Structure formats: C-alpha cells, structure tokens
Amino acid sequence: MHDKLRSAGPKALIVMGVSGSGKSTLGAALAGALECTFLEGDDFHSPEAVARMRAGIPLTDADRWPWLDRLGHAIAARLDTEAIVVAACSALRRVYRDRLRNAISAPVSYVLMDADTDELMRRMTGRPGHYMPPGLLNSQLNTLERPDSDEGILTLDSRQAVATLCTKTITWLQGGSPSTASGD
C-alpha cells in the first residue's frame, strides 16, 4: 500500500499543533493507513517537564530542546529501517520544526492541525487525566508560530472527520496539490 511514498526513500511526517488539536489522533490514523510506525511526541518528554505541565507551568525552550532532540533522534533511528515514520509533536515554533528537521536527516513533512480556541478548550476539558491542563492552552497559542509559505506545511481544519484528514494528507504527500488537499 502507498508504494509511491515508500519508493521515494525514507520520509518523516510530523503532525503538529497545540494541545487538543487532534495531532495524536490523526498521526495514529495516518500510521495505520500508511502501515508504518507512529511515535507519540508526548512520550519523549522528561518526567520533570511533565510535572511542570501538570502543575500548570509552561515549558521553556530549555525544557523543549532535549525533548525535541530525543524525538528527532527516535524518528531518525526508525528511518534507518523503515520507509515512513509518523509522529505527533506540537512543533509550535519554526525553530523547533527546524531542529527536528536537522535531527532527522531525511525529508520531513509537517501537517498543522488547526482549530479555533473554543473547540480546543472543549477538547482539552474532555480529556480527564491528561497532564496538559486547559489552563496552558493560551500559552501554547501564544507560542505557536503559524508556518510561513516557504515551509511547505499542509494546514488542515481539525474539525473534519479523521478519515477525511487522512485522505487529504496522503493525497498531499503523494504530490497532490495542497490547494486540492487543504482543509479550508
């Protein structure tokens, strides 16, 4: 399945966005559709960073650098033996996206899951037990640097059905026009 994508050489796909945007849900669905590994970026946070977030304390860049490095290296290691790896990671700032690209040393595509603040808050309050409290949403929104056009990032409306988002993403990855695959 998806031989065109596999034959192009190793490739990483990172589904990005703020907490509650649906990046993990789409990432897992894409990995299933593409029959490849899915890495949950949250699993690469240090216990100290998780404790900070649980306490409602936003992460700093100093907290994020080692996390991004761990995730980037894990993706790169998987790409040594796999054609495609999908990961979920907030990747809120361009410098974070660039750091991941540098760690991976294979082509990296990003998909931004976009939703309005009310929808994000609704989703976050509906996730009991998640370490990211809804009180940190504004911090993430303030940190988010929307991709510039030169980054070539697909932006999708995360309110759409997961199956639709998967189809749009795979079409885009296969060389389909972002305008025909966009979630707008």
Query: What is the reported pLDDT for 10?
Result: 85
> Which of 17, 12, 19 is CA-nearest to residue 126?
19
> Where do the domains of the chain lie?
3-174
Structural Rg of the chain based on CA atoms: 16
DSSP state of 8: T
pLDDT of residue 145: 92
pLDDT at 1: 45
Does the pLDDT value for residue 26 go beyond 80? yes
Q: What is the mean pLDDT of the chain?
A: 85
Q: Write out pLDDT tens, residues 34-78.
A: 999 999 998 999 999 989 888 888 888 999 999 999 999 999 999
Q: Are 153 and 147 in contact (CB under 8 A)?
A: yes
Q: How many CB atoms lie within 10 A of CB 96?
A: 21
For residue 71, the one-letter residue type is: L
pLDDT at residue 67 in the model? 95
Q: Average of pLDDT values for 142-171?
A: 91
Structure tokens at 151: 């980054």
Superfamily of domain 3-174: P-loop containing nucleotide triphosphate hydrolases (3.40.50.300)
pLDDT in tens, 126-150: 656 655 555 566 777 888 899 988 8
